[in-house]
Amino acid sequence: MPALLTWLAAPLLATFLAVLIAVLLATLATLLFALASALILVARLPALPTPLIALLPPLLAALLRLLLTRLLLLALS
């Protein structure tokens, strides 16, 4: 009986780990893309109007919180 359980559990564990790794890599890619976009936006700051510059820190903080929350929820699920 334990051999049967091992035979059944191995593919499920492999699938779970593959999906978990894919989700974590996708989340990391999203986070890196957001960071790169923010850096490009910050590099162009002198061309932006002053009210928009004042909105950047809260917007970037909210985006980072959203991405980190998503990463945490995916890691816990």
Q: Is the pLDDT of residue 1 over 60?
A: no
φ/ψ bin of 49: left (φ > 0), alpha (ψ from -120 to 50), beta (otherwise):
beta
Average of per-residue pLDDT values in the chain: 78
How many Å apart are CA 10 and CA 3, to the nearest integer? 11
The pTM score is 0.50
pLDDT band at 48 (very low <50, low <70, confident <90, very high): low
